């Protein structure tokens, strides 16, 4: 419980620091929402009046703590570009980005765990060597470039989907999921290759330990030893990696959204940065940071639960 409490305190401190740095970063960047809305040819009087209306003339810490207090009570402010609440804008985009994230993560698990087990079980076979080379190639390709390849191969050559033909989840849920499959695949493949390699290495390392020889001496078959003894222990570092992978997918999906013209958080973030729509940008970055930090917190706690050696060390 003490460990969980310490990690929770660290979580809140980290989130506060992220919000402060985000707010400070936009304070240092030249230009503001008033300039973006009125243009560079606006008169100083008009700019001053609009800054007063938007509250941009108030001291930095007054604006920061005002925004922070409102944010944690669910009030994310008003978009300076669209003149609607930021909360309503983000709530309509959240299902899109979260669907992409979850589909990608499910693909990583569905690909990497069976592949890791099979390649470790038949490590001396030609097929395992081919998987190793393919995995190295997949790990070296950035997701956004892989997204371009997926768009060309599956969209333009095989015509399995229409590039840029996004279908809303509100209009047709099945076509929405069908379209989201391909960007999710572009995100998942490099991560699945990394996870496969880690699981294979972990299984091969576990197979050299004494408890495996003991299991064989008791008459267990190779399959029984692998699935009943080795895999359980080999999965511990992989679970930690999968937690970090999920956090990376949350942040990395923003780039893929641009490649596939998906109207999620990524497109909204980029357009808001261009328009100096700081309430939207600050809210998106803070939400993503909170999700990433929360995932890391849960992974740390899960690792403590799964690995008895850590609990024994504390006791």
Q: What pLDDT, in 10s, does the model give residues 133-166?
A: 888 888 888 888 899 999 999 999 998 988 888 9
pLDDT in tens, 93-105: 889 999 999 999 9
Question: Burial code of 177-193, b = ≥16 C-beta within 10 A, e = fewer?
Answer: eebbbbbbbbbbbbbbb
pLDDT at 273: 80
Please state, in angstroms and as integers, the Cα–Cα distance from residue 111 to each residue in 189, 195, 257, following that order.
Answer: 8, 9, 22
pLDDT at 36: 67
pLDDT at 187: 92
CATH 1.10.3720.10 spans which residues of the chain? Answer: 95-265
User: At the fourth CATH level, which superfamily is domain 95-265?
Assistant: MetI-like (1.10.3720.10)
**93/264 Cα distance (integer angstroms):** 5
**23/282 Cα distance (integer angstroms):** 7
Q: Which residues of the chain have pLDDT under 50?
A: 313, 315
**206/208 Cα distance (integer angstroms):** 5
pLDDT at 103: 94
**159/151 Cα distance (integer angstroms):** 9
pLDDT at 315: 44
- Residue 29 tokens read as 């960047």
């Amino acid at each position: 419980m003490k460990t969980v409490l310490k990690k929770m305190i660290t979580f809140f401190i980290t989130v506060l620091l992220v919000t402060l740095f985000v707010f400070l970063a936009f304070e240092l960047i030249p230009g503001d929402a008033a300039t973006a809305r009125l243009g560079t040819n606006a008169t100083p009087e008009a700019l001053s009046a609009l800054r007063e209306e938007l509250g941009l003339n108030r001291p930095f810490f007054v604006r920061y703590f005002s925004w922070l207090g409102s944010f944690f009570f669910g009030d994310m402010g008003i978009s300076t570009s669209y003149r609607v609440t930021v909360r309503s804008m983000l709530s309509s985009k959240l299902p899109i980005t979260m669907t992409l994230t979850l589909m990608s993560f499910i693909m990583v698990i569905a690909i990497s765990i069976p592949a890791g087990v099979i390649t470790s079980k038949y490590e001396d076979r030609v097929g395992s060597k081919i998987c190793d080379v393919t995995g190295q190639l997949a790990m070296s390709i950035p997701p956004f470039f892989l997204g371009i390849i997926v768009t060309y191969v599956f969209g333009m050559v095989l015509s399995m989907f229409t590039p840029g033909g996004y279908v809303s989840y509100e209009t047709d849920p099945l076509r929405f999921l069908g379209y989201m499959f391909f960007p999710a695949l572009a995100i998942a493949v490099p991560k699945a290759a990394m996870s496969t390699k880690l699981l294979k290495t972990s299984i091969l390392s576990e197979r050299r330990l004494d408890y495996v020889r003991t299991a064989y001496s008791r008459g267990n078959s190779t399959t029984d030893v692998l699935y009943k003894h080795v895999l359980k222990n080999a999965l511990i570092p992989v679970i930690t990696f999968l937690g970090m992978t999920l956090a990376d997918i949350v942040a990395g999906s923003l780039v893929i959204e641009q490649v596939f013209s998906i109207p999620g958080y990524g497109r909204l973030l980029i357009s808001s940065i261009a328009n100096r729509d700081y309430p939207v940008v600050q809210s998106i970055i803070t939400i993503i940071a909170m999700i990433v930090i929360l995932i890391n917190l849960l992974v740390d706690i899960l690792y403590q639960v799964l690995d008895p050696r850590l609990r024994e060390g504390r006791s």
